[in-house]
A and B are shown apart, each in its own frame.
Chain A
Amino acid sequence: MSSETGKILTTDGIPLEVSLKKAERKNKIKAFLLVAPLLLFLLITYIFPIGDMLMRSVDDKMVTEMLPKTFKSMEKWDGKELPPEEVFESFYLDFQKLVEEKRDGKLSTQLNYTKNGFKSILKKLRRKAKNFEEGNYKEQIMAVHKRWADVEYWRAIQRRAPAYTSQKYLKGIDMYKNEEGKIVSVEEDRRVHRILWLRTLEIAFFVTLLCFLMAYPIAHLLATLPMKYSNLLMICVLLPFWTSLLVRTASWMILLQQQGVVNDFFVMIGLVADDSRPEMMFNKTGTYVAMTQILLPFMVLPLYSVMKTISPSLMRAGKSLGGTPFVAFWKVYFPLTIPGIGAGCLLVFILAIGYYITPALVGGASGTLISNQIAFHMKSTLDWSFASAMGLMLLAGVLAIYWVYNKLVGVDNIKLG
């Protein structure tokens, strides 16, 4: 096509190649314009805010901006002994400005995160600082409280100088940067977050396993029964699927309570005595039972849609070639269902790992998951940057699972129902 003479022209004299490319580009733009509104909407309201979470989780500008002079004069300080007069003076000036702007409370909260004990000494400093004389601030500040003469506290302030920090992420896995700047774990009995991460993984794993074990036989039954029966039984799967999550959680709360139906039944068949009814709610048992039932349809549906496509003659062929039904199942049927197993397990595991409502209602203290911790920090402690950091760690985990799944099985069309 490239030789001058062989060029094919359209009727209006433009080379065909150019004309086609133009049409192609026009089509591309047309297709893109259709997607653009939703894409733009999601970028602004959803994707960028997730980026915003990332910024928040590492952002530590608050203290940096509150004590600009202090941090400037601290640059020359080696941190070994008490800082020089210059640092004390600039700290005093910064602090007075914050008091005027009524922002000293925020500073004390922030510094208290870094080291306990700042709250009271800042309060005291605020009261005394009104009567400070000019000059020799080091003496005057140190006289306010003996902790002001402790170099540890000045080092703690210095640690807040950088505008960005990984501190929230470290806190999320129960680690912190100690005075020497080394990353170490917190004491054994304060490692709350690691327990939560492990528990979240454990519960998600076992819920997935339970769902798989329960879903496989019924998906198989649904796929092999004649239509008129399977449609009827399918309702048992689809009705819970379409029913409000809170309704299903409520029914488990009623069933599992101490005077509930399940306990009544146990007493009736003599499994437990009437006066020693086991506690089945507000602990891990409650979380397991309720989550398994709630997530079960998400396992059944992908398995069913795969099993439906497997021809029954394959099993028959396996048997006629001399395999027992079990061998035929294991060698022929089971390998064919692996895509369904993969999709179901992925779906259930990812849903389970981010579960919030059900564990919060039936989980009690020992059955709550990482999501509950995130919500707790969003709503109660208002430590939004920590909530963001934990959320992003969870998100990274979920994306990693997707990636691995994609490598192993391949994410083809996600099927709904």
Chain B
Amino acid sequence: MFATIFSSVESMLVVSLLLTPVVSGLLITLLKRKRIIETTTVISSLLILTQGLFLLPYILEKKTISIFDGTFYLDSLSAIMIITISLVGFLASLYSVNYMGRQYDKLIVDGKKLVRYYQGFNMFLFTMLLVPVSNNLGIMWIAIEATTLVSVLLIMLYTKQGSIEASWKYLLIATVGLSLALFGIIFFYYANSVYDNSFDSTHGMDWTNMVENAPHFDPNLVKFAFIFILVGFGTKAGLAPMHTWLPDAHSEAPSPISALLSGVLLNCAFYGLLRFHIISSHSIGPEFSNTLLIVLGIISLGIAAASIYFQKDVKRMLAFSSIEHMGLISVSVGFGIFLGIYGALLHVINHAVVKSLLFFSSGSISQKYQTKSIADTSGIIKTMPITGFMFLIGGLAIIGMPPFNIFMSEFLMLSSGFSSENFLVSALVILFLVVIFASFGKHLLHMVFGNPKSEMKKEDLGKLSILPMIILVSIIFIMGIYVPEPLQTLIEDATKIILVGGINS
């Protein structure tokens, strides 16, 4: 076993990628001093990011990496997830130093809770990284369920009434939802075992094995199973109408965690859904799952549009905006053509970047204004110029203004809707996007340019809170103009995987 770890650079990278957050979590448990645990987390997440980036050329060159007899399996689709997780993870750890430091100074959290926060942060990164690297769908399910358990602990960190309520709802709904997904996984496994008599239980659940055998599955069983999977992982991915836990959980969590939940965790669950979408498309053709994805996506967009219009709380508004974007991604994958899937995968990255920027800036804003209410937060640009500017950029980007990155991916997704001749769906998407544009825009302008209600010192909250936002804004600008060459190839490869299910293509 150990021989295989050291057999190649990329397998060593994958293993150390997974070990880094575990080691750092252990160190935090031992060391406990505020300064030290902060630096440990920042360094470990920086290490994760660099390891993720070092993995990129290998995946671009070899297309797939398989370690431990196929227990870990990475392709371009996993690579997109790893890059997103590690990028947002690193920036969130950087932002945490300032944000949690302030909460510590204000006596909202004590030293013990701070240790728990950073332990949870590292374990959260670990469980999320485990999702895209595991080939065995059972292990993937275990990892996704583990993300729920870890994030529940992070959401209830403040132990206010609201956070307890949010974490309880989240725990219940997500666990019940995921148990449905496990039903679906068992059905797929059963379908596989019926076809392949010689299977051994270790590899019968591997994604690669299932995709290979998929054409021989019983079609009725696959349809049945995919519905379970869709409801199950859809719950965790925030697709309406199973989204009810999401606005509570995302708005009650500490802001860096909200960024991780919205920007990355939803994508992890959607990634699980995509893997089964590929199996199902390979087995019974893509129409069945495409239609279901489009329907759920449209419902999500509609509910998000209505909720954003009437929203009074900043973080809840951002949470509903995440539902909107997950819906958009789901619809666009459902269009089932190259352009649409390419746009959706690009959007996964773009949304993660923009949503983290918004949660970081709104975290600083609500720390300064002591409220999350939209009505009471006005004139940010006057009281905290830099953060206000960042918030403005993020807000304009998220509603799809050019020249920012989300405009690019939304444009791709919409044009794919028209070229795949889904006119009604595309028209509905445009309608909802316009409603969201108007209502989000209204809230945004009020918050940024209104008159501050009370006299406040004109001051931003520390360099370390600004730095991650500056990095994110520059990514937003760059990705708005062009997508870097390696990333383009990566997304193209991943799109091909979804379209043709190709393991060896």
Report if A and B associate in a common complex. Answer: no
Chain B residues engaging chain A, CB cutoff 8 angstroms: none
Chain A residues engaging chain B, CB cutoff 8 angstroms: none
